[in-house]
A and B are shown apart, each in its own frame.
Chain A
Amino acid sequence: MESSNLFLLMLALGACAFYIGRGRSLAIASPLGGVRHLHSLPNYYGLNALLWCALPSMGLLILWLVLDEPVINSIVMGALPAELVPSTKADFNLLLNKISNLADGIMSADGQPAFMVAAAESMAGLRVISQWVLTAICLILATIGLYWGWRRVAAEYRARQSVERVMENLLLACACLAIFTTVGIVFSVLFESIQFFRSVPFFDFVFGSDWSPQTAIREDQVGSSGSFGAVPLFVGTLLISAVAMFVAVPIGLMSAIYLAEYSSKSVRTYAKPALEVLAGVPTVVYGFFAALTVAPFLRDLGADFGLTISSESALAAGLVMGVMIIPFISSLADDVITAVPQAMRDGSLAMGATHSETVRKVVIPAALPGIVAGIMLAISRAIGETMIVVMAAGLAAKLTANPLESVTTVTVQIVTLLTGDQEFDSPKTLAAFALGLMLFTVTLLLNIFALHIVKKYREQYE
C-alpha cells in the first residue's frame, strides 16, 4: 500500500478509536448514573484511545520511511559481486542511481548490463516487500493500540491526565525542535568542515591570503596548493559590511531619534511604517537594485569625476545593504530610546539643557547598551546577507580595502561553490561548509552577546 494511503487509513483508524473509546465510556457511565460518575469526560477516553492507536504506528511509519531507502540500497549493493562495486564514492552513487532508475522504470532496461538489471529487479522486489511489511506492521500496531485504549476505559481511569501528559510531551517536542535545529546546523557545518580541514590545514584556511578554489580543481591538486586562504573573503565581507554600517548607523540612529524625540504624532504614524517598508523588501530585490541600478550609476558617476569604480564595486553592494539595514537599526534604536525613562529627560530639561543636549548627553548614553546591541545584530545581519552580494559583488577574491574595487564575500563563495552540480565530497563543496562554519560562529557570537546586552538593558528599566 502507498505510504500516503496508509497514512490516511491510520487516520481513519484513529477516528474509529476515538468513537469506540468514547462510546465505551458512555456505556460504562450510563448504569452508574451519568457521565459525572466517570473520572474524565467521555471525549478524553476517546482521545486516549486515539493516541494509543495512532501515535505508535505513526512513529513507526515515519521511522520506516526514513530508514527504508538506505537499508534497501545497502542490501542491493551488498549483494553485488565485489568486483563490480565501484571503489570511489562518486561512481558508487552513480551506479546506485542507475539501478534505482531502472527499478522505478524511469530508465529502459534495454542495453544495460545484466547485473544491473538483476539488481534493479531485486531492488523493486524489496521495495514491494518493504511496503507490504510496513502496511501490515502499522495496521497490527494500530489495532493493538486501539484494543488497548478500549480496554483501559474504566470509570476510575484518569483518562484526562493521561491525554494531557502525552500532549504536554508533544508540545515539549515541538519546543525542542529549536534545539534540534541548532544542533543540526552545528553538526552539518562542523562535520563537513572537519573533512575539509583534513585536506586543507585550518591555519592555511584562516590565515591564507590566496583564494582560488577553481584552480585547485583544474590542477587536480588540493590543499597543498594553498588556494583556500580565506582572508580575502573575510576582508571583502568586512569591507562591504563596513560600507553598509557607515550608511545604516547614522541614518537609522538619527531617524529613530527624530521619530522618538521630535516628530509630531502624525509624522511618526506615516514615516515609521514607510521606513519599515524597507525591511519587508526581499533581499533579492535589493540585489537587483544594486546590480542593475546603483552599480552602473556609481560607475558612470565615478567616470565623470575621473575615478575608476568597478561595476561590481563593494561600494554599490554596501550602500544598498546599508539601506536594507536602516529600518533594522532604527526600529531597535527606537525601542531602546523610548525605554529610557521620561524622568531622565525631565531631569536634564529642568537644568536648562536644550532638547538636543538632553538627547546627546543623557538619552543616548543611557540607551547606549541597547543601541550597541542593535548595531551588533545589524553587523551580524550584514555579514550574513547573501543575495545582495551574490548579485552585486564580484567573484574574484581580491585583498583590498578600497571600496571602489570589486571584492567577494564569504556568502558569495558559499553560494558559488554549492550551486551547480559537483560531487558532494570535493574540497570545493567542503570549503563552502568551512566558510559556513566561520559565518555561523561569528554571527552566533555576535547574536548571543547582543541578545544578552539587550536582555540586561531591558531588566534595567523594567
Chain B
Amino acid sequence: MKQAKAAAKSATDTKSNPKQNLEVDTTQATVGNRFCENPKMSMRDVNVFYGDKQAIYDVSVDIAKNEVIAMIGPSGCGKSTFLRSLNRMNDTVDGCKVEGEVLLDGHNIYQQNLDVVELRARVGMVFQKPNPFPKSIFENIAYGPKIHGLADSRVDLDEIVEGSLKKAGLWEEVKERLHQPGTGLSGGQQQRLCIARAIAVSPEVILMDEPCSALDPIATARIEELIEELSQNFTIAIVTHSMQQAARVSHRTAYFHLGKLIEVNPTEQVFTMPEHQLTEAYITGRFG
C-alpha cells in the first residue's frame, strides 16, 4: 500500500503533471469485465508469495476460450509471476507459494492429486528468451510428443513435427535442415521453434512470457502474426512489455500494478477509454 503510493508519487514527480492525482486506492476491487461465460481458465483470489514477500494480491479473472488476453504493466508488477502460476511453473522456484484457485475447465490445478505433467501438456509456455534445447530442430519439436508418447510411429512423429512447424510458420525456412542444431537459428526463428515445440503436444492454452522482448522488430512482427493465427485454435495469455503489441494482438487486456490486477477490459477500451486512473497514467506513458 505504502509502496504503491510512493511509486505512484514518484511517477507524478518525475512526469510533473501536478493536476493529475495518482494517489488512488489500489485496494479497491479490479474494475472492468473480469468474468465471462464458459471460461477456459478462471482464477479466483490468487495470491503468490516468494518467501515472506507477497508478489500477487487477490487476483480474480477469467480467460475465455480461444481468446488472446494480454497482461501489461510496469516491470516488477507481477505479471510474469502471475502467468507462471497458471501452469505451475512457479513450483520450480524455491520458496514460492500460491494461494487461491486456478481453474482449468472447472478443475483446480493446485489440487493435491493433480499431476503437473498433464497440466503442463495442456497449458504450454513460451519464454522470454528463446530456449531451444541443444538438439536438432527435429528433436526439439519431437521432444514433447516423444516424452508424452503421442506418436505411434515414426511417420506419426514426422507428421507432428511438420504440422507444428507449419503452424509456427517455420516449415519453409527449416525443412531442408531439420537435423541441424536448433541453436543455429536466428533469434526470431528460435522463438518460433519454441512456439512450434509448445504446440507440438497440442495444448489447450499457451502462455507467452514476453515472447518478443529479445527479438528485432521484423521477427516481432512475424511472431505477432503467428499469435493471431494461433488464436483460432488456442487460448493464449501473453505478457508483454509493449503496449502496442498488446493493442495489436489481444482481445482483452489486463493491467497489473504492484501485484494487483487493476483493470480488465476489451483491448480497444483499455487503450481508448481506460476506466482506472492508473491504467490511464500507464498507457499515456506517465510511468512504466
> Chain A interface (Cβ within 8 Å of chain B)?
265, 341-354, 357, 361-362, 365-366
Number of residues of chain B lying within 8 A (CB) of chain A: 28
- Give 30 CB contacts A-B under 8 Å: A265-B94, A341-B131, A342-B92, A344-B131, A344-B134, A346-B89, A346-B92, A346-B127, A347-B133, A349-B89, A350-B87, A350-B89, A350-B120, A350-B198, A351-B124, A351-B143, A351-B147, A351-B198, A352-B116, A352-B117, A352-B120, A352-B122, A352-B144, A352-B147, A353-B117, A353-B144, A357-B147, A361-B147, A362-B143, A366-B133
Structural contact, A352 and B133, CB atoms closer than 8 A: no
> Beyond the given A346-B125, A353-B147, could you list 11 further A-B residue pairs with CB under 8 A, ordered by the A residue number?
A343-B131, A344-B133, A346-B92, A350-B89, A350-B198, A351-B124, A351-B144, A351-B201, A352-B119, A353-B144, A366-B134
A265 to nearest B CB, angstroms?
Answer: 8
Most chain B CB inside 10 Å of its own CB: which residue of A265, A341, A349: A349
Main secondary structure of the interface of B (DSSP, over half): helix
| Chain A residues whose CB sits within 8 angstroms of the CB of B120 once the complex forms | 349-352
B135 to nearest A CB, angstroms?
Answer: 7
| Chain A residues whose CB sits within 8 angstroms of the CB of B122 once the complex forms | 352
Residue in B closest to A358 when the chains form the complex, CB atoms: B147
Structural contact, A352 and B118, CB atoms closer than 8 A: yes
Residue in B closest to A340 when the chains form the complex, CB atoms: B134
Residue in A closest to B134 when the chains form the complex, CB atoms: A366
- The 8 Å CB contact of B121, one of A342, A343, A345, A351, is A351
B35 to nearest A CB, angstroms?
Answer: 27
- The 8 Å CB contact of B92, one of A345, A351, A354, A366, is A345
> Interface code B89-111, partner A: CB below 8 Å = 1, 0 otherwise?
10010100000000000000000
Structural contact, A343 and B92, CB atoms closer than 8 A: no
B136 to nearest A CB, angstroms?
Answer: 11
Most chain B CB inside 10 Å of its own CB: which residue of A342, A350, A366: A350
Asked if B9 is an interface residue, CB under 8 A from chain A, the answer is no
Give CA–CA (A361, B134) in the complex, Å: 10
> Chain B interface (Cβ within 8 Å of chain A)?
87, 89, 92, 94, 116-122, 124-125, 127, 129, 131-135, 143-144, 147-148, 194, 197-198, 201
Give CA–CA (A362, B124) in the complex, Å: 17
Structural contact, B147 and A347, CB atoms closer than 8 A: no
**Do A343 and B117 form a contact, CB below 8 Å, given A350-B198, A351-B124, A351-B197?**
no
Give CA–CA (A347, B134) in the complex, Å: 12
| Chain B residues whose CB sits within 8 angstroms of the CB of A345 once the complex forms | 92
Residue in B closest to A357 when the chains form the complex, CB atoms: B147
B6 to nearest A CB, angstroms?
Answer: 32
Structural contact, A350 and B133, CB atoms closer than 8 A: no
A339 to nearest B CB, angstroms?
Answer: 13
| Chain A residues whose CB sits within 8 angstroms of the CB of B132 once the complex forms | 347
Give CA–CA (A351, B122) in the complex, Å: 9
A142 to nearest B CB, angstroms?
Answer: 64
A356 to nearest B CB, angstroms?
Answer: 10
Residue in B closest to A354 when the chains form the complex, CB atoms: B117
Give CA–CA (A352, B87) in the complex, Å: 9
| Chain B residues whose CB sits within 8 angstroms of the CB of A354 once the complex forms | 117, 147
Structural contact, B92 and A347, CB atoms closer than 8 A: no
Give CA–CA (A341, B131) in the complex, Å: 9
Structural contact, B129 and A343, CB atoms closer than 8 A: yes
A372 to nearest B CB, angstroms?
Answer: 14
| Chain A residues whose CB sits within 8 angstroms of the CB of B92 once the complex forms | 342, 345-346, 349
Give CA–CA (A366, B124) in the complex, Å: 22
| Chain B residues whose CB sits within 8 angstroms of the CB of A365 once the complex forms | 133-135
What 4 A-B pairs come out closest when comparing CB atoms?
A352-B121, A352-B120, A350-B125, A343-B131
| Chain A residues whose CB sits within 8 angstroms of the CB of B144 once the complex forms | 351-353
Residue in A closest to B91 when the chains form the complex, CB atoms: A349
Give CA–CA (A345, B118) in the complex, Å: 17
Give CA–CA (A75, B122) in the complex, Å: 92
Give CA–CA (A361, B125) in the complex, Å: 19
| Chain B residues whose CB sits within 8 angstroms of the CB of A342 once the complex forms | 92
Give CA–CA (A346, B135) in the complex, Å: 16
| Chain A residues whose CB sits within 8 angstroms of the CB of B131 once the complex forms | 341, 343-344, 346-347
Give CA–CA (A350, B144) in the complex, Å: 10
| Chain B residues whose CB sits within 8 angstroms of the CB of A352 once the complex forms | 116-122, 144, 147-148, 201
Give CA–CA (A159, B124) in the complex, Å: 70
| Chain B residues whose CB sits within 8 angstroms of the CB of A361 once the complex forms | 143, 147
| Chain A residues whose CB sits within 8 angstroms of the CB of B89 once the complex forms | 346, 349-350
Structural contact, B121 and A347, CB atoms closer than 8 A: no
B237 to nearest A CB, angstroms?
Answer: 13
- The 8 Å CB contact of A347, one of B87, B118, B194, is B194
Residue in A closest to B132 when the chains form the complex, CB atoms: A347
Give CA–CA (A263, B198) in the complex, Å: 29
A351 to nearest B CB, angstroms?
Answer: 4
| Chain B residues whose CB sits within 8 angstroms of the CB of A366 once the complex forms | 133-134
Give CA–CA (A59, B194) in the complex, Å: 67
Give CA–CA (A344, B147) in the complex, Å: 16
